[in-house]
Amino acid sequence: MDHKHELLLGHAELDSEETDFVMAVLRTAALIDRACQAELAAFNLTEGRLSVMLAVADTEEGSATPASIADRLGVTRAAVTGLLDGLDRQGLIERSGTPGDRRSTTVTLTRGGEDTLAHLRPVYGDWLRHIAGAVSPDTLGGARAALTAIQHRVAQTSSND
């Protein structure tokens, strides 16, 4: 368990199946996040940079503006600019001006960016299946339902604040 979760649980003075379950979910999410970072590091990518590349690749035009990427990912334009700077240095994206609008920039994947995504997609899919393979097929549906219920409760609680 992460130290912050241990501290929170210790100070919550709660010991129940529910709190143990939520803490297990938090531990699992943290472990998956760290493992994902390690997987992407083999491609010299972060989750943020990969998300930007996928946001560009998923457009019909094969290009996107930094503002549309930020909107799609739910992050600030400044965050996208930093991610684009890194991808540009790696030669995975290319920025170009939009004809008729000197303030607007269009982002496209380079051949290297396209090749990286083509190689990464099956590797990432295999990795996800490997992780989920620790859970029996009979248990997956119930686990997914439990996690979905928690997601809905958190969303509901957050929207009531």
According to DSSP, residue 15 is labeled -
Residue 71 belongs to what H/E stretch?
Answer: helix 66-73
For residues 132 and 38, give the distance between their C-alpha atoms in angstroms, rounded to a whole number: 17
Q: Is the pTM of this model over 0.85?
A: no
Residue-wise pLDDT for 28-49, tens only, equals: 999 999 999 999 999 999 999 9
Among the CATH numbers 2.60.40.10, 1.10.10.10, 3.40.640.10, 3.50.50.100, which is that of 42-160? 1.10.10.10
Mean pLDDT of 63-86: 96
Q: How confident is the model at residue 158 (pLDDT cuts 50, 70, 90)?
A: confident
Domain ranges of the chain: 1-41, 42-160
Q: Which of 70, 63, 53 is nearest to 98 (CA)?
A: 63
pLDDT, residue 18, reads 83
